[in-house]
Amino acid sequence: MLAALDWYRAAGVDLAVGEAPVDRFAASQAAPRPKPIPAAAAVAAPATVVTLETDLSQAHALAAAAQTLDELKVALQAYDGCALKLRATQIAFSDGNPEAEIMLVGEAPGAEEDRVGKPFVGKAGQLLDRMLASIGLDRSKVYNANMVPWRPPGNREPSPQEILSCQPFLFRQIELVAPKILVTIGNVPTQALFQTKSGITRTRGQWRELTINGHVMQAMPTLHPAYLLRQPAAKAQAWRDMLSLKAAIEKHISAGERRLDG
């Protein structure tokens, strides 16, 4: 029983919705089968339209009012506009050095981040640390955040609506940290921040100038360490991205600010 409950929890089933059990197999067998749709009607059916109706005015106002990262975290904790908060253990707002000139933006907290309350502390985070170490960086020289600060149940991708509802806070977080260099980790933050539909294997390693809330920075997408754990052969590409990051640091950040050797 405990093992079954643990498995449910890992899969994101953490909410009881009824007092009595329901046999949904029996219900679906008893239900009349839907009539097949004639081919012509199927073709004429409208395409699925995704409408994002989140009212972001509250999020914008709360984020804009925060004058410090601590205030921003408090504002985000009080914000009820993202349903992920209801099922997460706690917020995983940031990790690393708020004074850093390099900011990394990931996708969303996983189970370990949800437990500890910081981004990138699980297995993927440990690999990220090794990637950073390969070019002389560690957490004292970078600042980490995610597109959404609450864990999506079962480690699914955050939905476009969930991303949108947290975006004013992330944008303010970037504005307050004001990094010279921003690295998007994996597909989700890359597509959202670069406003592209291209996949990460195409966009990785390419530098662009990115402006967020008036703050201009150099930005590059790289592969997500969770992907590298599943596809170790892709580490060669990630290594190229790290070398490119090192070169960009040398170009855009003065020696005193970067402290790559110390």
Q: Which residues bind ligand URA (CB under 6 A)?
A: 106-110, 113, 119-120, 122, 124-125, 146, 185, 226
17 contact partners, CB below 8 Å, separation of at least 6: none
Question: Min. distance of Cβ 149 from ligand URA in angstroms?
Answer: 9
Question: Min. distance of Cβ 69 from ligand URA in angstroms?
Answer: 17
Give 223 or 253: the residue with its C-beta nearer to ligand URA: 223
Give 123 or 259: the residue with its C-beta nearer to ligand URA: 123
Question: Min. distance of Cβ 184 from ligand URA in angstroms?
Answer: 10
Question: Min. distance of Cβ 110 from ligand URA in angstroms?
Answer: 5
Per DSSP bridges, beta strands 181-185 and 215-222 are parallel
Residue nearest to ligand URA (CB): 106
Distances (CA, A) of 215 to 36, 65, 182, 195, 240: 54, 17, 11, 17, 27
**Residues paired with 146 in a beta bridge:** 106
Spacing of C-alpha 192 from chain mean position: 10
Collapsing DSSP states into helix, strand and coil, what is residue 95?
strand
Give 9 or 123: the residue with its C-beta nearer to ligand URA: 123
Phi, psi of 212 (to 5 degrees): -130, 125
Give 190 or 258: the residue with its C-beta nearer to ligand URA: 190
